[in-house]
Structure 1
C-alpha cells in the first residue's frame, strides 16, 4: 500500500478518488534514513484531494478536480519556518536552551523557546540561565531523572529512547492502538448546507468560519491550509501568553489574530462560537475542558460543528496530559536515535511530525465537512504527533521510485509586503485544478485584529 493510499483510507475517503492524484517525484529532498519525503508527499496529497473533493461537492462538478503533488513544493513547505525572511532577516528557530544535552547515562532534549518553559527548566535543575550551568547539571544526572524532574516542574525535557525502548513504553502501546486520524460523530445534527461558491478560484472552505485555538506548528499549519482554501480563520490567544513573532508570521498567512481571555471575555467567545463552523484546538489535552471546550460540550452548544484537535502524545495513556513538541516526540519515539550517528542523536531534515500532522488535521476537517453534507452530525477529528511518528517509524509506505532533478528552491518561494515587513515565504503546496495558489492576505502582528468575524 502506498503512503497516500494509506492516508486516504485512514481519512475514510473513496479509493476511486485516488486516480485523480498525480505526483512529481524529485530526488534528494528531505534526505533521511526514514521515509520523510514519502510521508510529506502523502500528507499534502491527501489534504489536497480532500479539498478537491469538497470543492467538487459544493460546485456540483461531475468529477473531482485533478490533484498535483510536487515534491519540491512539499519539501519547501515542510521547512517553511526555515525559509521565512522578514525584511531580509532569518528567524531564530531554537533558543539556546532548546537542544540536546549529554547526561550521566545518555541524552536529553529540552524545549525552552518560550520564557515560561525556560524558567521552569532552570528551576527544576536549580541553575542560573547559563548553558554551561545547565550542561553541568545534566551531566550529573540520569536522562530519565531529568525527564521526570523537568516535567514535574511544568517544563519540557525528554530522554532519548531507542525504537525498542519506546515500543516497550505504555504510551507507545496506546498510540499504536489508534488510527492515524481519529474520526467520530458526536450527534445527529442535520446535514450541512453550504453557501454558494462564488469567484474564479475553487475554494472548498469559502464561507466557513474557523476558530483557531492553536499554537506552535501543527495546529497553525492546519488552519493556515484551511485559510488558503477559503475559510475565514480567526486565531484566538490568551493575552498573557505571547507567541514567538516569527513563528506566528510563518503560520499566519490568510488568518486574522485576536486576543481573548476565555474567562473575562466569555460572552464574546460564545458569540463567536455561535457562528463558527469549525473549532481547531492545539493545547495540551484537557487544558481547555475547564472552559467548556471539549468536543462534546462545544457540539452541544453549537450543533453541526466540526471540532479538530491536535496533541503531541495523544489524548490518552500515561502521557496523555503531557505537553510536547515535534523535537521532543522525535527523541522519545526513537526517531532521533535512528537519525543519529557517531554516538550522537540526530533529527529529521524538517519538523515533519508537525507539518505532516498539520496537513492530516486539515484533511480530516475537509473530509468531515464533506461527510456532513451527506449525513450531518457534529464531528470530531483528532491527530497526534506521536501517532504520525509511529507511522513514519513503520516505514510510511516506503516506495521504490525514480525521480526528476531538483530545480532551485526559489521556484516554490514567494515574496510579499505585509504589516510586519517584506516577507519571503514558502508558497502553499496544496494544489488542485481550479484551486487557489496563494493566500488571500499576508500575516499581521500577533493579536492585532478584533475578536470578531470578518
Structure 2
C-alpha cells in the first residue's frame, strides 16, 4: 500500500503564499479521479492556488480545466510513489499555469512570430436559418468544403459567406459530412441535453474504460519522482491538439514517446512546435511492407498506444482495438474521438471547434449581437488530452502495483463537453475571478531554443511535489527522427 503524504503549504511558483488546503476536496476533480478508478484516500492531497480569471467563460470552464490537470498530476504522483518514491507527493495546482497551458498554442511564438490560428475559411457563417461552423485549416479539408459547395478552388471568405447565406445550416452540415468536409450547424442553448451528448455520462467526464484478461507485461522498475513514466514506451498516433497534449505530458514525465505519421499526410510545423516537446517524430507508410514491418517491431515492445484518428480510419492497417489486443493483450490503448463512441454521430470527423458548435457551447458563448462564440481556449482538446494522460498514468500505476493486463480507454470531445455543460456546478459570480491576483500569463511562459527557432511557450502545469518544471528536450523537426525506441 502507498501512503499519502500530508499536504504542505509554502510559496507558489509565482512567489505568492499558498493557502492551506481546503477542508473538502474539489468536486470536479473527485469526479475525474473516481471515473479513472483512483484511490479515494489520495484526493485530500490536492489543493489549488493562483489567479482564477485566466479562463473567463459563462460556463464552469475554470473548474473543468483545473480538475483535469489536478487529476493528471495526482495520477503522476501516484505512479511516482508506486515506482519507488514512497509516499504520494502532495498536488498543488497553480491555476495560472493551468490557464496558460490550456491556451498554449496562443502563447507560442517562433523567433518572435505568432503562428496563424484558424484559416480564413474556418469560422462561423450565417445561413438562411441560423449559423454554421466550418473547419478548413488543412488543405484537403478546404478543398473538400469548396468542392461540395460548388465554389472555385481560390474562393475567399466573401464568396463562401455569400454562398452559405442562401443555404440551410443542416443541409450544409450533411452535404459536408458526405463529402468528407467539415461543417456543423450551430445548436441553440437549451435546458435539455442535446441529442449528440444525451447518451453520454454527466458526472464522469466521458471516459469509457475496460480491463482485459491478465497477461504478462514488460515490468516497470524504479523511477525518479520527477520522471515517473521513465522507461515507458508510447506509440503516438495523434495529430492536432488533444492527443499530442496527452503524449506531451507523458513525455514530460519521462516516457519515450515516438510519434508516427504517414508521409502522405503533412503536418503543420507550428502545431508540432507547440505539442512536440519531449517527443520524437518519425514517418512510416503502413501500406508499404517495409515500413509496416518497422511499425510492428515498435508495437511488439510498446507499453502504450494513443490513437486520436477518426474511429475506424486505421483499422485496415491492423490497428483496430480487437486486432491490437489479439497481438498484445497487455497493451494500454487509449483512443480519442470527437463525437463519442456509440452516439448518433459516432465515427464522424470532428474538431474541438465543431463540437463546441454542435452541442450548444458556441451558443452559450454568443456575443450581444447573437453571433456564436467560442470558449476562451480549445478546452475540449486540452481537457480531453489531460484526461487521456491521466487515464494512462493510472493504468501504469495499476501495472506497477502488480495488477497486469491490458487496458482500453476511450475519451471524446463530446463527453468532455457533456461534463462541462451538465456535470459541473456553475460558479458563483464572486468565485470566478480574483482581484488580488489578476491573471497575467508571463510567469508561466519561458523561452527555449529548438530546431524550429527560438520558442516562447507555456510551461507544463503538472503540479505534484517534485514534478519536472519543463520538458527534457524541445520539439525536433516533424517526421525526421529514426523509428526506433531509445533503449
Provide the TM-score with structure 2 as the length reference: 0.89
2:258–2:282 Cα contact (<8 Å) kept: yes
Root-mean-square deviation (Å): 1.7
User: Which of 367, 389, 392 is the matching residue for 1:362?
Assistant: 389
1:181-330 to 2 correspondence within 5 Å?
181-190=207-216, 193-197=219-223, 201-264=225-288, 265-330=291-356
**Runs of 5+ unmatched residues, structure 2:** 1-25
Question: Are positions 1:12 and 2:33 aligned together?
Answer: no
Larger deviation, residues 141-150 vs 337-346: 337-346
Using a 3 Å threshold, how does the CA distance of structure 1 residues 87 and 453 change in structure 2: closer, same or farther?
same
Residue equivalent to 1:389: 417
Residue equivalent to 1:451: 483
Using a 3 Å threshold, how does the CA distance of structure 1 residues 168 and 435 change in structure 2: closer, same or farther?
closer
1:109–1:159 Cα contact (<8 Å) kept: yes
Question: Are positions 1:340 and 2:366 aligned together?
Answer: yes
User: Which of 391, 402, 422 is the matching residue for 2:454?
Assistant: 422
Following TM superposition, where does structure 1 have runs of at least 4 consecutive aligned residues deviating by more than 6 angstroms? none
What does the per-residue CA deviation read over 1:226-284, in whole Å, with 9 as the maximum and x for residues that have no partner?
00000000000000100111011100000011101112111111000011100000000
Larger deviation, residues 374-383 vs 399-408: 399-408
Count of matched residue positions in the alignment of Structure 1 and Structure 2: 450
1:117-196 to 2 correspondence within 5 Å?
117-128=141-152, 129-164=155-190, 167-169=193-195, 171-176=196-201, 180-190=206-216, 193-196=219-222
Larger deviation, residues 108-117 vs 431-440: 431-440
Instruction: Give the superposition deviation at 1:349.
Output: 0.4
User: Which of 437, 440, 444 is the matching residue for 2:469?
Assistant: 437
1:366-381 to 2 correspondence within 5 Å?
366-373=393-400, 374-381=402-409
User: Which of 93, 106, 113 is the matching residue for 2:117?
Assistant: 93
Instruction: Give the superposition deviation at 1:25.
Output: 4.2
Instruction: Give the superposition deviation at 1:431.
Output: 1.7
Find the aligned partners of 1:168 and 1:312 in 2 and give their Cα distance. Answer: 15
Instruction: Give the superposition deviation at 1:186.
Output: 2.2
Find the aligned partners of 2:192 and 2:321 in 1 and give their Cα distance. Answer: 30
2:145–2:176 Cα contact (<8 Å) kept: yes
Using a 3 Å threshold, how does the CA distance of structure 1 residues 214 and 371 change in structure 2: closer, same or farther?
same
Find the aligned partners of 1:53 and 1:91 in 2 and give their Cα distance. Answer: 36
Find the aligned partners of 1:194 and 1:268 in 2 and give their Cα distance. Answer: 24
Using a 3 Å threshold, how does the CA distance of structure 1 residues 192 and 67 change in structure 2: closer, same or farther?
farther
Using a 3 Å threshold, how does the CA distance of structure 1 residues 22 and 154 change in structure 2: closer, same or farther?
same
**Runs of 5+ unmatched residues, structure 1:** none
